[in-house]
Structure 1
């Protein structure tokens, strides 16, 4: 259940606000982005995301509920609901939320009202497993570099012991160093 909005409603009455949000949502689903005021965009965002969540379910009761919320009284709204359930819903299937994005674009020329663009986020989401695999690959590529450094250190230590040893003992030290590298 939606909580009532605090402060003045958009348009004056609850019915007008509901109709305005339904029309904005229909335009958002039809054009994939809408330019409106920041206040209307912020009120539209949870409404549109809830409709997309219904579209992700994809069953008949969800479709009827969305048609009731968008007030499908003419054929164009039915085509918008169809597009929502056949194109937008499956595109958002991997996304767990955040279906819309609000970008502020400055103030309107006439009345200096702050304007924003609300758009659908249609980019595919990278699953967490892909991120984890990339991190494991990065760690695996770093690990052999560390091992090489350790081997170089052992060779340097072997050379240091050769310098300290007398000239007669150099041959056994070289044999020992060759045995470690094999």
Structure 2
């Protein structure tokens, strides 16, 4: 029986499992989409959703609590400034798991874990195209 077992151990010791979740959550927030096994995706999804919920309130305490797991300052800033405001009116369900089939080598079930709402990537400013002077000015004929 599997009573009162609230998580998947992923066949790892606790330190390895903790590091795996930290790295995958960081990658999820950095790239907004990761491909992994279905079991890992479901475990990382739980952690990521809790972090997004905490990040919706931008306080020193929230930043410190999440900074315990996300060591990359740029990703931490992105979570609080870009990702969390997108979900301010949503009460949960910030991520989705899409099944993609089985892996070729060991037939493990693969899945894509992604954020439901995509952040806008900063668009490069379109430089005004310079008109090419394809028509050269006609040369003046000199009279000899």
* TM-score category (smaller protein): 0.7 to 0.9
1:103-122 mapped onto 2 (5 Å cutoff) = 103-122=98-117
CA RMSD of aligned residues (A): 1.8
| Count of matched residue pairs | 116
- What is the TM-score when the length of structure 1 is the normalising length? 0.60
Contact 2:7 2:43 in 1 (8 A): no
Contact 2:37 2:109 in 1 (8 A): yes
Structure 1 segments (4+ residues) deviating >3 Å: 3-7
For the residue of structure 2 that corresponds to 1:61, the secondary structure is helix
1:37-48 mapped onto 2 (5 Å cutoff) = 37-48=37-48
- 1:81 matched to 2:81? The reply is no
Gaps of 5+ in 2: 119-144
Q: Report what 2:60 is aligned to.
A: 60
Q: Deviations over 1:58-100 (max 9, x none)?
A: 1111011101022x1xxxx110000000000101101110000
Larger C-alpha radius of gyration, 1 or 2?
Answer: 1
Structure with higher helix content: 1
- 1:10 matched to 2:10? The reply is yes
Structure-1 separation of matches of 2:13 and 2:91:
33
Which structure carries more relative contact order (alpha carbon 8 Å, separation 6+)? 2
Contact 1:91 1:122 in 2 (8 A): yes
Structure-2 separation of matches of 1:4 and 1:55:
27
Q: Report what 2:126 is aligned to.
A: none
Query: 1:41 and 1:25, CA in 2 relative to 1: closer, same or farther beyond 3 A?
Result: same
For the residue of structure 1 that corresponds to 2:92, the secondary structure is coil
Q: Report what 2:92 is aligned to.
A: 97
- What is the TM-score when the length of structure 2 is the normalising length? 0.75
For the residue of structure 1 that corresponds to 2:88, the secondary structure is coil
Gaps of 5+ in 1: 124-182
